[in-house]
């Protein structure tokens, strides 16, 4: 459960976790880790559960990728709610990092950032 979200949004997230074979609360855990990552220097935390974004069940994905996949699975109102609680952490990460010009441009923005 993610505080600040409606019961409907949290139910939709629980449904997303069930259909993707994730443990209950995995998205909330990813949200807490992303928020924590945003407050601490990037070198102090590992934002990965693993290194592969292809299969959520194997536990190998970037925490922000899980949040993005969840956003896309939600209905419009729930998506807005979740985006609103993720946005402050995203903004913190963007403020203290810069784009890495050596990373592939087709990667998501959170995988192309380097610490200032």
pLDDT in tens, 18-59: 999 999 999 999 999 999 988 876 555 555 544 344 456 555
Q: What is the pLDDT of residues 50-77, one digit of tens each?
A: 434 445 655 567 899 999 999 999 999 9
| Other Cβ atoms closer than 10 A to 37 | 20
Spatial separation of the C-alpha atoms in residues 79 and 55, rounded to whole Å: 22
What is the model's pTM?
0.85
Spatial separation of the C-alpha atoms in residues 2 and 5, rounded to whole Å: 6
Spatial separation of the C-alpha atoms in residues 83 and 89, rounded to whole Å: 10
């Amino acid at each position: 459960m993610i505080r600040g979200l409606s019961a409907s949004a949290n139910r939709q997230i629980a449904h997303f976790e069930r259909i993707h074979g994730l443990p209950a609360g995995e998205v909330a855990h990813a949200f807490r880790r992303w928020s924590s990552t945003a407050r601490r220097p990037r070198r102090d935390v590992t934002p990965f559960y693993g290194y592969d974004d292809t299969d959520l069940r194997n536990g190998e994905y970037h925490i922000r990728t899980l949040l993005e996949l969840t956003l896309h699975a939600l209905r419009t109102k729930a998506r807005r709610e979740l985006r609103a609680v993720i946005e402050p952490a995203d903004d913190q990460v963007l403020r203290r990092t810069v784009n890495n010009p050596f990373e592939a441009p087709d990667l998501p923005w959170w995988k192309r950032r380097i610490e200032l």
